[in-house]
């Protein structure tokens, strides 16, 4: 783990998605994420690669956030 946090804009009114602690386990990619949409602490979640993007999905598979893979370059050690 490092102290780097990536801040990704998610809409045009100023909301943000924060990512930290990129980790690969058993072929899956995990990050801890937090948003300005709610007051939840950082939560670990799996992210899925889709073409040049990664997505964070809800429990039902709905895509909640989509971001370009280059955002994760900042988190790699």
Q: What is the predicted pLDDT for the residue at 77? A: 61
pLDDT surpasses 70 at 2: no
**Residues 23/8, Cβ–Cβ less than 8 Å:** no
pLDDT digits (tens, 9 = 90+) for 3-49: 899 999 999 999 999 999 999 999 999 999 999 999 899 999 999 99
CA-based Rg of the chain, rounded to a whole angstrom? 12
Residue 26 vs residues 29, 31, 46, 49: alpha-carbon distances, Å: 9, 14, 12, 15
Report the SS3 class of residue 1: coil
List CB contacts of 69: < 8 A, sequence separation 6 or more.
49, 52, 53, 54
């Amino acid at each position: 783990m490092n102290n780097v946090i990536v801040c990704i804009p998610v809409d045009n009114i100023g909301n943000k998605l924060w990512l930290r602690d990129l980790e690969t386990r058993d072929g899956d990619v995990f990050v801890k994420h937090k948003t300005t949409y709610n007051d939840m602490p950082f939560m670990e979640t799996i992210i899925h690669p889709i073409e040049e993007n990664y997505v964070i999905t809800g429990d039902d598979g709905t895509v909640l956030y989509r971001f370009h893979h280059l955002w994760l370059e900042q988190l790699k050690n």
